[in-house]
Amino acid sequence: MYSAPVEDISHALRHVAGLQEAMDQGETGELSPDLLEAILAEAARFAEERIAPLSASGDREGTRLEGGKVTTPKGWRELYREWIDGGWNSLTGPEAHGGQGLPMSLAVAAAEMWNSASMSFAIGPTLTTGAVEALESHGSDELKQRYLEKLVSGEWMGTMNLTEPQAGSDLSALKTRAEPVGDGTYRIFGQKIYITYGEHDFTDNIVHLVLARLPDAPAGVKGISLFLVPKMLVEADGSLGRRNDVICAGLEHKLGLHGSPTCTMIYGDGSAEGEAPGAIGWLIGEENRGLACMFTMMNNARLLVGIQGVGIAEAATQKALRFAHERRQGRSTRLARDNSEAGGAMTPIAEHPDVTRMLLTMKALTAACRAIAYACGHAGDRAKATAGDPTASKAWAERASLLTPVAKAFSTDIGVEVASLGVQVHGGMGYVEETGAAQLLRDARIAPIYEGTNGIQAIDLVTRKIGLSEGAAFENYMLELRAVVETVETKNDPSFGQTAEMLDHALSDLSSATAFLRNALDKGDMETALAGATPYLRLFGLTAGGVYLAKSALAADPEGQRTALARFMAENLLAETNALCAQVRQGAASLAAARIAIGLEA
């Protein structure tokens, strides 16, 4: 029942994120407006007609592990094949290796649709994208030649193997070891957990990227190296050789994402009989620089998790809207002239102000986090497209860096919030699995956790991003946001209500909170920065999102819906920014004073 909001997506890409400008300036290569629309329409059709119908059954059926083999839900293997045959895996891949070299922002828009249709299905290729990036940036020519084309096409899938039981958010504690054999290969030994699509039946080979420690490596994160470990060894001619010593030893039973296998992977337990023990791996990049290689792909990986939040929020909003327009209960005080209880027909629940509020909140927050995510992806594209102009390129790259933690954390928080509101709008039916609203909540709940918890994103934003180029990256962003608000003010269109005023307040709150945190950091007061990080990130997301909704309305709004939504967001949801600013300021002192209430030393 998912219907891709192609019009909204295209408008947000072109007129909010800035793709129109980039196209106008000839920065997008082959991507013309016509091609853009054609691709979006085609992606919409695939998401609606092919992926969405398999989402609920995939959730019910889940994945199975037998004898080291993982079976995905019925029809998913064929779906994946159809998806890669459509060229969807290779949108942004390097043209030298069969990719289409299209802008990341376009892939992000498509990814929103895949995730709205089925987050469990969509997450697999996300990992492949990361593997392609790591390999492209840091792999040897031989590794690239042997693996890249098949990863770009999707014939093989990639995985990321970071987490171990004792090393989650803190990778310094990881223990998986890599022993150099002397022939350029390494033998990998260790256990990795929570490996998404670590084993499955979509492809004949799976290319694992694995963080491990060399024998003489320094302690901590400076002693971590990145290895490529294929499930099936690949011969020089590209054909598949024997099985490598890596197996899936278990699948997690998760709250959601049931269609996506989350694997415990064992490297080097001797399962490849007759061979020397250890999974055979190849170094990617330099020794002990594994984390740096991971960081290369971190921006896009985080953005792609952020878009999961957007996709879920969109799906939940649509579902709730449809339900609320159909389901009739009670009589609206607004519509009913005859307000006697027994008189007249029951009204669609969307008419009841409390439900109207929930639906508008869902729709506004979804549009807000969509805009942020697209703007983030677009900034990365511009950084590449303007490579010839180092100043411009750096500014765009910093914009992408600045927005990445917001795109990840704000969007995934919104994904959970909106999915939960979706359950509420459905009433009792929302709690029953058949409706599908509950599945969206279950699926959404992982996104604030993985790929760096949202707390870690907030810390990244505060301690590394707002100070980029001495704060110039942030200030430039503020200028852009302020310009939008000034346009709203100048336009003086009464249908915007108090939008400009409320956005102005929000920008002041964001500005003030930023100055406060930067000042704390300048004084080396890390506690204050850390304590205020989470409310700060939400303040950032709400403010940027609110401004983007206004920008969207200013660009074109034939039916007045965008203006209405921007106004609702500004007048209602941005009322929160003042409190968030206060929480940033109060944070450290208040946390310090309260520690004893949770058993920490005063």
x/- map, 512-531, a copy of itself, by CB under 8 A: --------------xx--xx
Under rule CB under 8 A, residue 430 binds a copy of itself: yes
The CB-of-86 to a copy of itself minimum distance in angstroms stands at 31
How many C-beta atoms lie closer than 10 Å to residue 183's C-beta? 7
Residue ranges in 438-457 that form contacts with a copy of itself under rule CB under 8 A: 438, 441-442, 445-446, 448-450, 453-455
**Residue of 30, 179, 451, 489 marked catalytic:** 451
Contact assessment for residue 199 and residue 210, using Cβ atoms and an 8 Å cutoff = no
> Which of 89/420 has CB closer to a copy of itself?
420
Under rule CB under 8 A, residue 495 binds a copy of itself: yes
Residue ranges in 235-294 that form contacts with a copy of itself under rule CB under 8 A: 252-256
Contact assessment for residue 208 and residue 161, using Cβ atoms and an 8 Å cutoff = yes
In the numeric block, the tokens 């310009």 are attached to: 483
Q: What whole-number distance in Å separates Cα of residue 486 and Cα of residue 547?
A: 11
x/- map, 542-581, a copy of itself, by CB under 8 A: -----------------xxxx-xx-xx--xx--xx-xxx-
The CB-of-568 to a copy of itself minimum distance in angstroms stands at 4
Under rule CB under 8 A, residue 593 binds a copy of itself: yes
> Which of 222/242 has CB closer to a copy of itself?
222
The CB-of-361 to a copy of itself minimum distance in angstroms stands at 10
Q: Which residues pair with 177 in a beta bridge?
A: 189, 213
The CB-of-316 to a copy of itself minimum distance in angstroms stands at 14
Q: Clarify whether 451 is annotated catalytic.
A: yes
Which range, of 104-112, 181-189, 204-212, 593-601, touches a copy of itself by CB under 8 A?
593-601
CB burial readout 254-273, b (16+ within 10 A) else e: bebbbbbbbbbbbbbbebbe
Residue ranges in 172-191 that form contacts with a copy of itself under rule CB under 8 A: 172-173
Q: What whole-number distance in Å separates Cα of residue 493 and Cα of residue 488?
A: 8
Q: What whole-number distance in Å separates Cα of residue 395 and Cα of residue 255?
A: 40
> Which of 47/530 has CB closer to a copy of itself?
530
> How many residues belong to the site for a copy of itself (CB under 8 A)?
105
Under rule CB under 8 A, residue 69 binds a copy of itself: no
Contact assessment for residue 408 and residue 303, using Cβ atoms and an 8 Å cutoff = yes
Cα 372 to Cα 402, 406, 433, 540: the distances in Å are 11, 8, 31, 10
Under rule CB under 8 A, residue 508 binds a copy of itself: no
Considering only CA atoms, which of 281, 521, 537, 547 is closest in space to residue 403? 537
Residue ranges in 326-365 that form contacts with a copy of itself under rule CB under 8 A: 329-330, 333-334, 341-342, 346, 349-360, 363-364
Under rule CB under 8 A, residue 65 binds a copy of itself: no
Residue choice 170, 235, 326, 486 for contact with a copy of itself (CB under 8 A): 170
Cα 68 to Cα 77, 251, 257, 266: the distances in Å are 17, 10, 20, 11
Q: What whole-number distance in Å separates Cα of residue 284 and Cα of residue 130?
A: 13
Cα 329 to Cα 258, 391, 419, 422, 432: the distances in Å are 34, 59, 22, 17, 19
- In this structure, are strands 177-180 and 157-161 parallel, antiparallel, or unpaired? unpaired
Contact assessment for residue 310 and residue 369, using Cβ atoms and an 8 Å cutoff = yes
Residue ranges in 459-478 that form contacts with a copy of itself under rule CB under 8 A: 459
3-state SS class at 238: coil
The CB-of-162 to a copy of itself minimum distance in angstroms stands at 11
In the numeric block, the tokens 């099936």 are attached to: 232
3-state SS class at 556: coil
Distance of CA 91 to the CA centre of its chain: 17
Contact assessment for residue 364 and residue 573, using Cβ atoms and an 8 Å cutoff = yes
Q: What token pair was written down for 160?
A: 């990321």
Which range, of 62-70, 203-211, 432-440, 465-473, touches a copy of itself by CB under 8 A?
432-440
Residue choice 57, 145, 169, 519 for contact with a copy of itself (CB under 8 A): 169
Residue ranges in 378-417 that form contacts with a copy of itself under rule CB under 8 A: 416
The CB-of-548 to a copy of itself minimum distance in angstroms stands at 15
The CB-of-545 to a copy of itself minimum distance in angstroms stands at 15
Q: What whole-number distance in Å separates Cα of residue 233 and Cα of residue 205?
A: 9
Residue ranges in 303-322 that form contacts with a copy of itself under rule CB under 8 A: 321
Distance of CA 248 to the CA centre of its chain: 26
Under rule CB under 8 A, residue 325 binds a copy of itself: yes
Residue choice 29, 75, 467, 497 for contact with a copy of itself (CB under 8 A): 497
The CB-of-18 to a copy of itself minimum distance in angstroms stands at 23
> Which of 183/601 has CB closer to a copy of itself?
601
The CB-of-258 to a copy of itself minimum distance in angstroms stands at 11
Instruction: Please identify every residue annotated as catalytic.
Output: 451
